[in-house]
Amino acid sequence: MLIFLIRQFRAYFVRMLSRWADAGAGIGTLILNGAALSLSWLFLPLESKFWREVRCNKSLYYPHVNFERLGFADLIRIVLQSIFLAFVHVFDRTRFLRRNPVSRLIRSILHGFEKTGEAIGSVGTRFLSGIGSQSYETAQRLTDRVVSNKFQTLLIRLALVIAGALALLCITQPFDIRGQVIFLSIVLFSAWVFTHIKARITLMVLFVISVTVSGRYLWWRCTSTIRPDSGIELFLALMLLAAEIYAFIVMVLGYFQVCWVLDRKPTPLPADRNTWPTVDIFIPTYNESLEVIKPTVFAALNLDWPQDKLRVHLLDDGSREAFAVFAQSVGVNYIKRIEHNHAKAGNINHALGLTSGEFIVIFDCDHVPSCDFLTSTVGWLVADKKIALVQTPHHFYSPDPFEKNLHLEKAMPIENSLFHDFIQKGNDTWNAVMFCGSSAVMRRSALMQIGGIAVETVTEDAHTSLKLNRLGWKSAFISRPLASGLSTESLSAHIGQRIRWARGMIQIFRLDNPLLGKGLSLAQRLCFFNAMVHFLHGLPRLIFLVAPLPYMFADIYVIYATAAAIFAYVIPHMVHAAITNQILQKGYRYPFLSGVYEAVLSWYILLPTTVALIFPHKGKFNVTAKGMTIDNKYVDWSISKPILVLIALNLAGLAIGIYKAATAADSQVTTLIINIGWIVYNLMVLGAAFAVAVEEVQKHRLPRITLKTPVELTLADGTVLPAQLQEYSQTDVRIRLTEGIERLNLEDDIFVSMTTRGQTYRFKACVLALENDCLEARLVFADNQEEIAFNRCTFAREGMWAIAPEGKVDERFVTGFMRLAGFAVYGYKSLVEYLPGYVGRAVRGALSLLPRVPVTHSKDIL
């Protein structure tokens, strides 16, 4: 048999060499291929069905090997890839999980739990449906009762005191490890049960459970895990404990802020339009281009409001002649000033002295309202004379750096969705809605009573709303998107904007602390306080990202506890907080992305917030750049330097940890594994954060917006074709045709007919591109009036910004974790790909030797 095998291999070897020789391969290639075949035959069963399949499809199974011109590195790639393929073949996960009885048992148990949870949830939902209704009417009635009924308010306060005392008892009750495990197992089961009950009251219960579990963890940390053996160890341990206390405070305040959100709907205006109030529209601008402000100005002119009661003002702090000419040509009032003090706030205050409308509407120059903006917001100001502010959500029709660079689906909630779409609803419950600087309506008399827009800080908007609340004015939040703007278009611009926000909120904290002074309720104080301390997350986040490293580098215990105690206290704390936040933030924040957002910003907001705490008058207003293009994909190495330093430190800690785990005594291995797991998670977050610094190409200076609505195309010969608009910008449209696209050619002139609110408009266009059943065309406007009409059909279309994006996002906890891992892989892959110089080439060369996942798999083999 041995002789037979040798003869078979020799015949095969000779045939392969002859085939390569006939193809003109060099002597080096022949030697290398021969060596590869010899090594493969010695160690791998090449005669098996699997390896025959591999040989026949070698370009698929060895995608990184150039078989036409093999080099020495290719030989190493072949050997490593062959071992990898053998491992994948032997331990094929899909086949193993499908056939393994243990796996089948686990799946059946999980399926049983899921069915049990659904059954419990169904019963619980029916039982608590009356208590936990989430409708606006129920929330409004509850809020009114709490405010008006003093006796009920007293009862609620008494209940809160009793609940707090019971929670304190649960938090401080001493348990041994066994008792702690039993207690938390019961609590975890209770939390699991309540996650399946769809009622508002269940979220309250989850808040209580989360606070209790996290409170026990912090009590344990403060009383049992600090060992003052050395100064440095005590300092590092206290730093981590302070960061955890900060996170706990923010968590509890966040729970309070949104424990019962108020989903306020528009209230109707009087039927007689002659009684509607006068409104001044302010559009402040400084250095933005004319093409950025045009959609906003046109949309303001298209607002559904009596024309004799609507005045649009362009507030140009750049004093540009072209803007004055444009304003005159479209019929809006142009306002400029001589002294340019206090930036945007000063610009608006100057215009307040030159106008007289009963209500003021402020739009950032890139925030485009739909035509129903005023009819959806002013009704509350007319109905309630104590309301000074009606704020609407900030939505954006261009992707922010996280959406663009992480390739997030449009249906996925964006970075600021949590605040603008959810937390503001909670603020509305407590009469603490924050003015966001744009897309809001304000009562002039209230604004004048506080001396106009606040000028003491660089976040004039939030400070203005705080001043209004101090004087007893009410605020409201309409949760329907009624305007949309341009996002920051690069990570550096995004960070610059957030630095200003962070500095300004800390300035307010120092100069007009909501916890002090008169005029605010306790709930209002807590809501404003939480909004401010949120921007102090820079140092705590950095501490969490380096906390496991002292133990790896110098055997310093930042948490002095056994591995069993850590599992009994730390893991439940993290699990309960994660479960509660996932349910709370579902639809507004994707799982695990909060850590990425904070990791990106933490270093950059640390210094400004620290300076603002010490010197609150320092800092100036910075305008965010809008309307840019990115021609080539690149890494912003400058902005990513802090992330790279943190990655390097954690990689060093990981290497040391793995070495220690392999050589340490058994008693230390568990502790090392816990720290290694912490470092791996930090590396995942940092990898995803670096991925945000990989700036993707942005070809269009003017973003394209999705809108699917029927249109008609009229060709040059008069033929009319039914079609559907897919996307539009200020100058272009993308249209899908059901028939007749073969009749069109490039540069053909066509007419696009669009209908809105019962009126049809016709626009001339020139065909730029034809692709399958779609065409792209450049609009040709004869004058400003045609542009205004197109704006009426698109940007200002009724309900335009309330259209939900297509698609559905899987927001499950495990899916979020896997997405985070995917973002991290993309980040590290990009880091290697764009690493400059000799180091980059060396690293890319070494990594090119590593095995690759085959391009395809044969179902018969794998």
Q: Which strand (E) or helix (H) includes residue 475? A: strand 474-477
From 91-95, 164-168, 645-649, the region with the lowest mean pLDDT:
91-95
Mean pLDDT for 800-813 is: 83
pTM for this predicted structure: 0.82
Find the DSSP H helices in 732-836. Answer: 784-793, 813-834
Mean pLDDT for 800-820 is: 84
Distance CA 216, CA 691 (A): 36
Is residue 92 flagged as an active site residue? no
Does 51 or 78 have the greater pLDDT score? 78
What are the tens digits of pLDDT across the range 756-801? 998 999 999 999 999 889 999 999 999 999 999 999 999 999 999 9
Best CA proximity match to 612, nearest among 540, 538, 541, 542: 538
CA of residue 346 relative to chain centroid, distance: 32
Q: Whole-number mean pLDDT of the chain?
A: 83
Are 219 and 172 spatial neighbours (Cβ–Cβ below 8 Å)? yes
What are the tens digits of pLDDT across the range 717-735? 889 999 999 999 999 999 9
- pLDDT of residue 706 exceeding 60, the answer is yes
Q: Which strand (E) or helix (H) includes residue 416? A: none
Are 345 and 453 spatial neighbours (Cβ–Cβ below 8 Å)? yes
Distance CA 315, CA 251 (A): 40
Q: What is the pLDDT of residue 259?
A: 85
Among candidate residues 280, 317, 512, 636, the one labeled active-site is 317
Mean pLDDT for 808-831 is: 88
- pLDDT of residue 11 exceeding 60, the answer is no
Q: What is the pLDDT of residue 696?
A: 87
Mean pLDDT for 510-526 is: 94
Specify which of 158-167, 678-687, 805-814 reaches the highest per-range mean pLDDT. Answer: 678-687
Is residue 421 flagged as an active site residue? no
Mean pLDDT for 586-590 is: 84
The dihedral region occupied by 809, where left means phi > 0, alpha psi between -120 and 50, and beta the remainder, is beta
Strand residue runs (E) in 288-445 = 310-316, 333-335, 359-362, 368-369, 387-391, 395-396, 440-443
Residue type (1 letter), 8: Q
Q: What is the pLDDT of residue 45?
A: 59
Q: What is the pLDDT of residue 91?
A: 44
- pLDDT of residue 336 exceeding 50, the answer is yes
Q: What is the pLDDT of residue 28?
A: 52
Mean pLDDT for 488-497 is: 90
CB atoms within 10 A of CB 739: 10
Structure-token pair, residue 708: 């699917």
Best CA proximity match to 370, nearest among 442, 271, 304, 310: 304
Q: Which residues of 560-594 are buried (b: 16+ CB within 10 A; e: fewer)?
A: bbeeebbbbbbebbebbbbbbbbebbeebbbbbbb
* Residue-by-residue DSSP string for 706-728: EEEEEEEEE-TTS-EEEEEEEEE
pLDDT range class, residue 135, cuts 50, 70, 90: very low
- pLDDT of residue 847 exceeding 90, the answer is no
**Cβ-based burial of 731 (10 A; exposed 0-12, middle 13-18, buried ≥19):** middle
Structure-token pair, residue 164: 């707090």
State the virtual CA torsion across 445, 446, 448, 452 in degrees, nearest 10: -140
Among candidate residues 400, 461, 512, 636, the one labeled active-site is 461
Q: What is the pLDDT of residue 534?
A: 93
Mean pLDDT for 63-91 is: 71
Q: What is the pLDDT of residue 860?
A: 40
